[in-house]
Amino acid sequence: MSEALYSELIFKRSVWVSTLTVAPRASSSSKIPEIRSAWRFVESVVAREPNRLVTTMSWTLKNPLIDAHLIGGKHIVPGVLLTEQAAQTALLLARINGLMASNEYLVLSQLRCDFLHPGVAPTTVTAEVSIRGTGHGHFGFMATCSSEGLELAKIKGIASKVVKVDAG
């Protein structure tokens, strides 16, 4: 069995819990760091490798973000939501891989997005993200967002670590 297949994870997100339990294949479980509403655009993880994570997000016409975006009479998934899914997937992978200490958080310091096709709702968007740590308080990520085999966007970004300062 390949390492990639062995480490494959499948889970559903819940906006209201502070920690998600991941069921890796066997009966053992592991914890993914704080999920809460920070992962609003990552619905499920469908594959995981050491520096690669694949997530999905389903978009329906009932979602007010989708309902408000029409092009040519069709509801579309706005590019900013594709970008957010990719960035949240990169952040989740960074947390899983231990690239951040408990007193650190990440901010996007650079972002480049190439939007290739509109995502017509209802649809499920898949974000395939790989990361590369630089060792200097930053890490880069590259993502491809697709739906039904059609590539919607290519996204590249750099996230920078910021240390939390306790007040008082």
- Domain extents in the chain: 41-163
Q: 31: which 2 tokens?
A: 């914890």
Tokens 């899914």, located at residue: 85
Burial, 24: exposed, middle or buried (Cβ in 10 Å; 0-12, 13-18, 19+)? middle
Helix, strand or coil, per DSSP, at residue 95: helix
- Alpha-carbon Rg of the chain, whole angstroms? 16
Position 41: which residue type? F
More confident residue, 1 or 84: 84
Name the CATH superfamily housing domain 41-163. Hotdog Thioesterase (3.10.129.10)
Tell me, what's the pLDDT at 9?
30
Overall pTM > 0.85: no
Q: What is the pLDDT of residues 98-130, one digit of tens each?
A: 887 778 878 888 999 999 999 999 999 999 999
